[in-house]
Amino acid sequence: MKIAVCVKRVPDMDARFRISADGTSLDEAGLKFDINDFDAWAVEAALQLKEKAGQGEVVVLSLGPAAAQETIRKALSMGADRGIHLAADRIPFDGFAIARALAAELKDGSYDLIFFGKMSPDSSNGIVGPIVAELLDYACVTAISGLEMADGRGTAKRELEGAQEFVEFTLPAVLTVDEGLNTARYPSLKGIMAAKKKTLESKPAQLGDTMVTIKSLAMPPDRPPGKIVGEGAAAVPELVRLLQTEAKVL
């Protein structure tokens, strides 16, 4: 089975973000970057399928500046076989543009499965995987938290609001991964050494026209300062009064 996994380098969300002077991007100075959590679970899912089958290839793709190669190396050190870096000055906000560039690279790869994380916390759109599926005319199942493959077909579990859905799909397919599918392995020292020798080719990303651009960035309005109503059960009557008369939610 030939599997691709598309991964994104994202900043650590614990950071205090600052808006750049241009007003449309974030200042990256001092930010720590790593592979998107959802994408790490996607890599893990691909590796588990390959290990179970006892054969196959896992190819990792990432679009972005040169530093995206570090993210690919991390996936290689987890056990992926080779990497493809689609070079771009920056990762555009427009998910369609990203999908177009990925699809252009993936289309001649005859992949049976293409994995994505279900979303990334920075641009927070969650659209790249399904758009790639449409562009390649692959079947697509999003936000999976369970997966089984047998006889060239797959069954996936999806969490909906207040319900679980079990779907059957045919190959080739795009799958996007939700939390709960697995726990991503840490790269072993051996894995890190091996990754240094693995193939990682870099080529320009074919982004095409962007249709969505950031006009401005702003910090969210502060919530008005709250108050500590009191301590222990004795504070309950006052809380209930405030919820009824001030917040009017009870």
- Closest separation between CB of residue 112 and another protein, Å? 14
Residues shown for the chain = 250
Q: Are 61 and 106 in contact (CB under 8 A)?
A: yes
d(CA 195, CA 179) in angstroms, rounded, equals 26
Q: Are 191 and 185 in contact (CB under 8 A)?
A: no
Residue (161 or 201) nearer to another protein, CB? 161
Residue (73 or 118) nearer to another protein, CB? 118
Residue (28 or 81) nearer to another protein, CB? 28
Tokens standing for residue 229: 């109503």
The type of residue at 100 is: R
- Compute CA distances 54 → 1, 48, 113, 182, 212, whole Å: 10, 10, 16, 19, 43
- Closest separation between CB of residue 147 and another protein, Å? 13
Residue (51 or 134) nearer to another protein, CB? 134
- Closest separation between CB of residue 123 and another protein, Å? 6
The kind and range of the H/E element at 158 are strand 153-160
Residue (63 or 195) nearer to another protein, CB? 63
d(CA 47, CA 65) in angstroms, rounded, equals 25
**Where does residue 31 rank: exposed (0-12), middle (13-18), buried (19+ CB within 10 A)?**
middle
Show the CA angle centred on residue 10, arms to residues 8 and 209, nearest 5°: 60
Q: What residues does 174 pair with on adjacent strands?
A: 114, 140
- Closest separation between CB of residue 18 and another protein, Å? 9
- Closest separation between CB of residue 195 and another protein, Å? 26
Residue (64 or 130) nearer to another protein, CB? 130
Q: Which of 164, 60, 165, 49 is nearest to 117 (CA)?
A: 60
- Closest separation between CB of residue 39 and another protein, Å? 12
